[in-house]
Amino acid sequence: ETRPWIWDRLDDGVRQRIVAWLAGILGDPIWDNNWTWFQAIMEAFLRSVGGPWLAEDIERTIARTDAWHVGGGWYSDGTRESGALRNFDYYCGWAMQFYPLWYCRMSDSDSAELLARYRGRLTDFLGDVRHLVAADGAPLLQGRSLTYRFAMLAPFWAGAVLDATPLAPGATRRLASGVVRHFANAGCFDDAGLLPLGWYRSFPNLRQPYSGPGSPYWASKAFAGLVLPPDHPVWTDVEEPMPIERGDVQLTLPAPGWLVSGTKADGIVRVAAHGGDHASLDHPSFDAPEYARHGYATHAAFDIENAAPIDSHVALITEDGRVSHRRPVHPIRIDGRIAISRSRAHWLVGDAPVPWRTEGGESWTLGPWLTTASVLRGAWEVRIARVDGPPSDTGPLRLRIGGWPVAADEPPTADVRESTATARRTDGLTSTVAGRHGLPLGGHVRTTDRNPLGRHAVTPWVATENPVLPGQIYAALVTLSGVALTGDVDIAIAAEQVRVTWPDGERDELTLPGPDQFEPGGGSGGAVAAG
């Protein structure tokens, strides 16, 4: 992209040294995820300047990418020995969707079929993820490398540059300008004018093991559209409203296992997550807060806690207070407004808490299967849980359903009235969880310096008073809204059937499959070592 201004002006000695240095990547074994595209992009450049390159490196990258495509334009970013991971997030877009098309732009010698394949996938992907941005430009807060902030715009610009988008030019610019403006207005630059590690303010706990002080500047990928000329329609057309500015959004995304609900009244987007968890299929592990929660939103962030999670988490709690983990997640059903998944409850053997993302070599106590379901509409989610065998040797277990955390630099207020708990921010953002079936206890937890959206956070919860009964269905109504909600949601349960009646009279019905209808992996109670 910059060859006339940089490469063409370097003397031959400098060029030779750069080629020699980049050639060090030839034949290197690359981590089995999107990083394989770093190798392919470098070798595509080397090929373009007459340097050395290996066809097998690029062929391996293309083959891996095809294997990770799970349908609908979505990629699972990487594999482990046990098979493909379910890594679904924005990172897949700014890497897995971005580099393949830019590779084609750099490689005129490759087939038109490859370009058409990547264009089709990116077009499908953008048709989904354009709905994951709030009216005020806040992106969904989920997945890894969140400190890259507005880098999530990279695939939108790749679509505009390479004719691989369902968005009109004015819609692309509206989304891009809205996201960058959102972060700038929220104070994402420090006193030196730099992007620190964090989401808005400095929040180092949002870093990944591979993060460094310069990592936030992957955000520069949000400006990939600047390769388009000034007279391109993306710059000259009038900005168009985003979908959520036109009306409510209801979307079912089978590939990542997400239900999406955006509401025009407050501009908030919510996701009920029953698919991706960034975990191996057969190893219990600590819940990754950025992947394994039951819910994600544009205006609520997970607490940085993986030893005893509570926010947007459904947990079985032992008599000594240990909290069960959900990861890995086994998706069962997703269609319409309904999603169902199942996970094996497990608890860490030994001391807790542990540092965020600590995993490998731990010992776990396995418990019963926990089936959970979400019925999502507007700002309302009916969250359902049932415990199935085998029994646990941990003794009696209580069930707790955590609501959305509300965070701000000024402490939010909390209110608990019997089986209903509420957290509220000064701007009106409100999180409520109400126990409806078998969850008579309500409460809340306050945390400090554990949430990327603000120093103080409050999470409401409801719980059983007595030990859970296997086979019994428990249900709570969970809401996150920036405006007052009117009407009520009725939840009727009969045997394995659940019927949800919304305030306008519409209904959703679901059946939770019994334990004999799902066998994702056997085993009974006891201790196992993971890692």
Tell me the pLDDT band of 530, cut-offs 50, 70 and 90.
Answer: very low
Q: Report which residue type is found at 509.
A: E
Are 399 and 439 in contact by the 8 Å Cβ rule? The answer is: yes
- pLDDT tens-digit profile of 353-363? 444 444 555 68
Q: What mean pLDDT value characterizes the chain?
A: 91
Asked if residue 523 has pLDDT above 50, the reply is no
Place of tokens 């993820």: 129
Asked if residue 520 has pLDDT above 80, the reply is no
Predicted confidence at residue 338, as pLDDT, reads 98
Tell me the pLDDT band of 80, cut-offs 50, 70 and 90.
Answer: low
Tell me the pLDDT band of 531, cut-offs 50, 70 and 90.
Answer: very low
Handedness of CA 141, 458, 211, 147 (dihedral sign): positive
- pLDDT tens-digit profile of 452-502? 999 999 999 999 999 999 999 999 999 999 999 999 999 999 988 999 999
Q: Which one is predicted more confidently, 453 or 524?
A: 453
Q: CB under 8 Å to 210, separation ≥6 — which residues?
A: none
Asked if residue 277 has pLDDT above 80, the reply is yes
Burial code (b: 16+ CB inside 10 Å, e: under 16) for 180-219 equals: bebbeebebeeeeeebbbbbbbebeebbeeebeeebbebb
For residue 79, what are the β-bridge partners? 84
Q: What are phi and psi of 69, to 5 degrees?
A: -75, 120
Overall average pLDDT of the 505-518 stretch: 85
Predicted confidence at residue 354, as pLDDT, reads 43
Whole-model pTM over 0.85: yes
Distance of CA 96 to the CA centre of its chain: 15
Q: Which of 15-29, 199-213, 278-292 has the lowest mean pLDDT?
A: 278-292
Q: Locate 406 and state its tokens.
A: 């509300």
Predicted confidence at residue 519, as pLDDT, reads 53
Q: Report which residue type is found at 313.
A: H
Q: Which of 266-270, 277-281, 433-437 has the lowest mean pLDDT?
A: 277-281
What are all long-range contacts of 118-123, with beta carbons under 8 Å and residues at least 24 apart? 118/164, 119/162, 119/163, 119/164, 120/73, 120/164, 121/69, 121/73, 121/75, 121/97, 122/73, 122/97, 122/155, 122/158, 122/159, 122/162, 122/164, 122/165, 123/73, 123/159, 123/164, 123/165, 123/166
Overall average pLDDT of the 524-530 stretch: 35
Predicted confidence at residue 109, as pLDDT, reads 64
- pLDDT tens-digit profile of 234-273? 999 999 999 999 999 999 999 999 999 999 999 999 999 9
